[in-house]
Every structure is written in C-alpha cells, then in structure tokens.
Structure 1
C-alpha cells in the first residue's frame, strides 16, 4: 500500500513488429468535402441550400466568438 498519493499506471507505448500500425490516426480528422453539384437543383432548392449555408456560417462565426472569448480569458488569467 502506498501512502501519500495515487499510483498511476501508464501503459508503455512500444512499437511491435507483430502488430500492424493503426493508420486511422494518420488520416485527417475532417476530410474536405467536394463541391456540391448545383446543376440538378431547382431555383427553390438552390435558395434553400443558400439559406442552409448562411445559417452554418452564422453558427461557425458564433463558435469563433466563443473560442476567442475563452482564449482572451485564459490570456488574461496567465498574464497576472
């Protein structure tokens, strides 16, 4: 029994020749999507598509604002 704190188990990371490397970590997490083919879409479908894209832009801008606020708070905290 250890006194004074927890004992941490850290598994060793050793490359083994008998196991293949996991290539999932080498793939980009967010693969870029190709451009959507707009030719088969009607005018109404295109307008709906634009509205969806604009809503997604607003959502992304809000996420940027939240992240900037967190970053500014962290920078202010660590500049003490």
Structure 2
C-alpha cells in the first residue's frame, strides 16, 4: 500500500515539474515570436521606404515595341 502512495506522490511531483518546464518554454517562445514580429515589421517598413521613391509613375514608364513579325516560310 505504501508503494502505491509513493508512486502517486512521485507521479504528482513529476507532473508538476513537467508543467513548470513547459510553461517556461511557452514564455520563452512567446518572447521570441514578439521579437521576430518586431523585426519583420521593421524589415517591411524598410522595404516599403526603399521601393516607393525608386518606382517611376505608370505614365512615364516606357513600353517595349511589339516584336517584329518574321515572314512565314512555306
């Protein structure tokens, strides 16, 4: 009987330790996600600020002439 009580206590303790470890991992991963979100937002902002001035307006873009048709050979 004492053996089963010991197993029950050890099972409960190991469950508590497992829960604590997983909670710490979740907090760490949440922090990493926040950091990555901030970094991605900064990169998007830099990309938008770089590409906006360099793109010419649509009316000033030069279009390529249509390709010359080659004669059909019989």
Unpaired stretches in structure 2, ≥5 consecutive residues: 1-5, 46-74
Equivalent residue for 1:78, pick from 43, 52, 72: 43
TM-score (norm 2): 0.52
Alignment length (residue pairs): 40
> How far does residue 75 in structure 1 lie from its aligned partner after superposition?
0.2
Residue 42 of structure 1 and its aligned partner are, at CA, apart by 1.1
TM-score using structure 1 length: 0.48
Question: Alpha carbon RMSD of aligned pairs, Å?
Answer: 1.1
Q: Higher RCO, 1 or 2 (CA under 8 Å, sep at least 6)?
A: 1
Unaligned runs of 5+ in 1: 1-40
Distance 1:77 1:48 in 2: 44
